[in-house]
């Protein structure tokens, strides 16, 4: 087996007495889509926050390509190729849709901060941003302020920003939550296409088990911050851990089996 691109070792965070992520050790390989499931409050988002640097680990380590990144600030981790789409939509509300995405395109460039290029128009950045918007079907709202978008479009923009960043590790945190039924396929297609490229490491937090089963190469289950199951989709969905995990979420017992 190839070495993992991203790896966490005994990763732990404690909020006061509450251990939100408890000694999680696992790795994520290139070309692999791992779904992370677990009931509300299991620590999935917190685990993401530890990886992308929004929260500091209480103990444990994080490695990207074998290099330890545990102490790096979020900006440095992003520059090394960790991309994040947030569960709670996090946009630049008073900038246009296009500007939101272009900021991500620009962030990858060495010249992002350059003052010597004040007068250049950066055509290629603009075009790359436009392509990212087409991928999520937002190109017609190019000049709308992000704050003025309906909820579903905000979710799409959230994803488009990460896509435009072109990271090596993609972290989707419930990307389709709150979207209307006809909007969901756009996002799922996009994730499927991303997976088909075969060289990206994809982490997906998702409650809808049918989505998880159709996309995931592997499922890990978090329960109260602890990694409680890890394996291929068929195996894990059938296991007791998942049924237990989804007791609180699924309307009926056994819903995880579909």
Chain positions contacting another protein, by CB under 8 A: 52-54, 73-76, 78-79, 84, 86, 90-95, 99, 102-104, 106-108, 111-115, 117-119, 122, 125, 161, 165
Of 4, 38, 60, 81, the one binding ligand ATP by CB under 6 A: 38
Binding of ligand ATP by 40 (CB under 6 A): yes
Q: What residues numbered 81-100 form the site for Mg ion, per CB under 5 A?
A: 87
SS3 225: coil
Phi and psi at residue 51, in whole multiples of 5°? -70, -45
Please say whether the beta carbons of 38 and 32 come within 8 A: no
Which range in 37-45, 124-132, 208-216, 240-248 contacts ligand ATP by CB under 6 A?
37-45
Q: Which is nearer to another protein, 166 or 217 (CB)?
A: 166
Which tokens is 8 given?
């966490």
Give the length of the chain: 258
Q: How far is the CB of 220 from ligand ATP (least distance, A)?
A: 12
Identify what 181 binds: ligand ATP, another protein, Mg ion, none; CB under 5 to 8 Å per kind. none
Cβ burial 222-252 (10 Å sphere, 16+ → b, else e):
bbbbebbbeeebeebbebebbbebbeeebee
Distance CA 148, CA 145 (A): 5
Q: Provide the H-helix boundaries in 97-206.
A: 97-107, 123-135, 151-165, 184-196
Please say whether the beta carbons of 248 and 40 come within 8 A: yes
Instruction: Please work out, in degrees rounded to the nearest 5, the angle formed at the alpha carbon of residue 72 by the alpha carbons of 82 and 54.
Output: 65
Identify what 170 binds: ligand ATP, another protein, Mg ion, none; CB under 5 to 8 Å per kind. none
Please say whether the beta carbons of 100 and 129 come within 8 A: no
Alpha carbon separation from 44 to 61, 96, 137 (Å, rounded) = 17, 30, 28
Q: Which is nearer to another protein, 53 or 233 (CB)?
A: 53
Q: How far is the CB of 155 from another protein (least distance, A)?
A: 15
Identify what 40 binds: ligand ATP, another protein, Mg ion, none; CB under 5 to 8 Å per kind. ligand ATP
Please say whether the beta carbons of 55 and 13 come within 8 A: yes
Identify what 43 binds: Mg ion, another protein, ligand ATP, none; CB under 5 to 8 Å per kind. ligand ATP
Q: How far is the CB of 56 from another protein (least distance, A)?
A: 14
Of 4, 43, 60, 83, the one binding ligand ATP by CB under 6 A: 43
Binding of Mg ion by 45 (CB under 5 A): yes
Q: Which is nearer to another protein, 25 or 94 (CB)?
A: 94
Binding of ligand ATP by 84 (CB under 6 A): no
Q: Where does this chain bind ligand ATP (CB under 6 A)?
A: 15, 20, 38, 40-46, 87
Q: Where does this chain bind Mg ion (CB under 5 A)?
A: 44-45, 87
């Amino acid at each position: 087996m190839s070495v993992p691109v991203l790896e966490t070792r005994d990763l732990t965070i404690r909020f006061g007495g509450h251990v939100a992520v408890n000694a999680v050790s696992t790795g994520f390989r290139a070309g692999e889509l791992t779904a992370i499931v677990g009931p509300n409050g299991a620590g999935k988002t917190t685990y993401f926050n530890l990886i992308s640097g929004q929260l500091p680990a209480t103990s444990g380590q994080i490695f990207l390509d074998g290099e330890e990144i545990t102490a790096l600030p979020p900006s440095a981790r992003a520059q090394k190729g960790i991309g994040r789409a947030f569960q709670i939509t996090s946009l630049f509300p008073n900038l246009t849709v296009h500007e939101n995405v272009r900021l991500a395109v620009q962030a990858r460039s060495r010249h992002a901060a350059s003052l010597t290029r004040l007068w250049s128009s950066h055509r290629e950045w603009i075009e790359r941003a436009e392509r990212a918007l087409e991928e999520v079907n937002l190109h017609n709202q190019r000049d709308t302020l992000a704050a003025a978008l309906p909820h579903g479009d905000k979710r799409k923009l959230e994803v488009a920003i990460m896509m435009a960043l072109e990271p090596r590790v993609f972290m989707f945190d419930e990307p389709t939550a709150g979207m209307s039924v006809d909007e969901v396929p756009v996002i799922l297609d996009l994730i499927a296409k991303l997976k088909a490229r075969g060289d990206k490491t994809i982490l997906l937090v998702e409650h809808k088990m049918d989505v998880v089963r159709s996309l995931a190469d592997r499922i890990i289950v978090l329960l109260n911050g602890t990694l409680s199951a890890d394996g291929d989709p068929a195996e894990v969905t059938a296991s007791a851990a998942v049924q237990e995990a989804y007791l609180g979420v699924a309307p009926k017992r056994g819903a995880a089996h579909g």
